[in-house]
Structure 1
Amino acid sequence: MMLKKGLSRQILLAMSSMTVVVCLVVFFGTYIAFGIIYYFSPWSQYEESWLTGVDFIILSILIFIALIVAAVASVRLTRRILQPLESLAQSARRIKDGDLSARALPGDQSLGETAYLVQDFNAMAQRLDDMAADMKLWNATIAHELRTPLTILKGRLRGMIDGVFEPDETSLQSLVMQVDSLARLVEDLRTVTLADSGHLDLRIEPVRLKQEIEQLGNLLEEELRDEGFELRLSLADVVIQADAMRIRQVLLALVTNARRHAVRGAIDITLHVEDRITRLRVIDEGPGLGDDIAPWAFEPFRRGTRTGHHEKTGNGLGLSVVRAIVEAHGGKIHYAPSAKGGAMFEISLGRPVF
Structure 2
Amino acid sequence: MATGFRRDVMGLRTGLSRQILVAMSAITVMAGLLVFFGTYLAYTAIVAFYPMSEPEGGLTSVDFAIVGVLILITLPLAAVVSVRLARRILEPLDTLARSARRITAGDLTARASSGDRALGETAGLIDDFNTMAQRLQDMAADMALWNATIAHELRTPLTILKGRLQGMIDGVFEPDERSLQGLVLQVDGLARLVEDLRTVTLADSGHLDLRLEPIRLAREIEQMADLMAHDLRAGGFRLQLELADLTVLADAIRIRQALLALVTNARRHAIKGAITITVTARDETVVLGVADEGPGLSQETTTRVFDPFVRGDPARSRELGGNGLGLSVVRAIMEAHGGRLRYRTAPEGGALFEMIFMKTTGPDPARDA
CA contact (8 A) 2:291 2:350 kept: yes
CA contact (8 A) 2:311 2:317 kept: no
Cα distance in 2 between the residues matched to 1:261 and 1:239 = 30
Q: What secondary structure does 2:72 align onto?
A: helix
Query: How many residue pairs end up in the alignment?
Result: 353
Cα distance in 2 between the residues matched to 1:310 and 1:168 = 25
Instruction: Give the drift of 1:69.
Output: 2.4
> For structure 2, which runs of at least 5 residues remain unmatched after alignment?
1-8, 365-369
Instruction: Give the drift of 1:28.
Output: 2.6
Q: What secondary structure does 2:303 align onto?
A: helix
- Which amino acid counterpart does residue 121 of structure 1 have in structure 2? F
Tell me whether 1:84 sits opposite 2:92 in the alignment. yes
Residue from 111, 115, 132 that aligns with 1:107 = 115
Structure 2 counterpart of 1:69: 77
CA 1:314–1:232 in 2, change beyond 3 Å: closer, same or farther?
same
Tell me whether 1:150 sits opposite 2:158 in the alignment. yes
Q: What secondary structure does 1:217 align onto?
A: helix
Q: What secondary structure does 1:119 align onto?
A: helix
Please give the per-residue CA displacement for 1:189-222, whole angstroms capped at 9, x wherever unaligned: 0000000111111111111110110111111112
CA 1:310–1:131 in 2, change beyond 3 Å: closer, same or farther?
closer
Structure 1 counterpart of 2:68: 60
Q: What secondary structure does 1:302 align onto?
A: coil
Cα distance in 1 between the residues matched to 2:54 and 2:212 = 95
CA contact (8 A) 1:331 1:349 kept: yes
Instruction: Give the drift of 1:29.
Output: 3.2
Instruction: Give the drift of 1:168.
Output: 0.7
Please give the per-residue CA displacement for 1:276-332, whole angstroms capped at 9, x wherever unaligned: 311111001111111221111111112235877996342111100000001111111
What pairs with 1:254-293 in structure 2 (closer than 5 Å)? 254-293=262-301
Identity %: 64
Question: Which range is displaced more, 56-65 or 163-172?
Answer: 56-65
CA 1:172–1:46 in 2, change beyond 3 Å: closer, same or farther?
closer
Tell me whether 1:8 sits opposite 2:17 in the alignment. yes
Structure 2 counterpart of 1:26: 35
> For structure 1, which runs of at least 5 residues remain unmatched after alignment?
none
Cα distance in 2 between the residues matched to 1:222 and 1:13 = 85
Structure 1 counterpart of 2:243: 235
- Which amino acid counterpart does residue 161 of structure 1 have in structure 2? I
Cα distance in 1 between the residues matched to 2:158 and 2:123 = 52
Residue from 334, 339, 344 that aligns with 2:347 = 339
Q: What secondary structure does 2:211 align onto?
A: coil
Cα distance in 1 between the residues matched to 2:231 and 2:321 = 18
Residue from 226, 239, 248 that aligns with 2:234 = 226
Cα distance in 1 between the residues matched to 2:158 and 2:44 = 98
Instruction: Give the drift of 1:57.
Output: 2.4
CA 1:76–1:202 in 2, change beyond 3 Å: closer, same or farther?
same
Cα distance in 1 between the residues matched to 2:315 and 2:240 = 23
Structure 2 counterpart of 1:96: 104
CA 1:306–1:288 in 2, change beyond 3 Å: closer, same or farther?
farther
CA 1:159–1:313 in 2, change beyond 3 Å: closer, same or farther?
same
Instruction: Give the drift of 1:107.
Output: 1.4
Cα distance in 1 between the residues matched to 2:69 and 2:264 = 88
Cα distance in 1 between the residues matched to 2:304 and 2:161 = 32
Q: TM-score, normalised on structure 2?
A: 0.90
Q: CA RMSD in A?
A: 2.1
Cα distance in 2 between the residues matched to 1:124 and 1:275 = 37
Structure 2 counterpart of 1:245: 253
Q: What secondary structure does 1:352 align onto?
A: coil
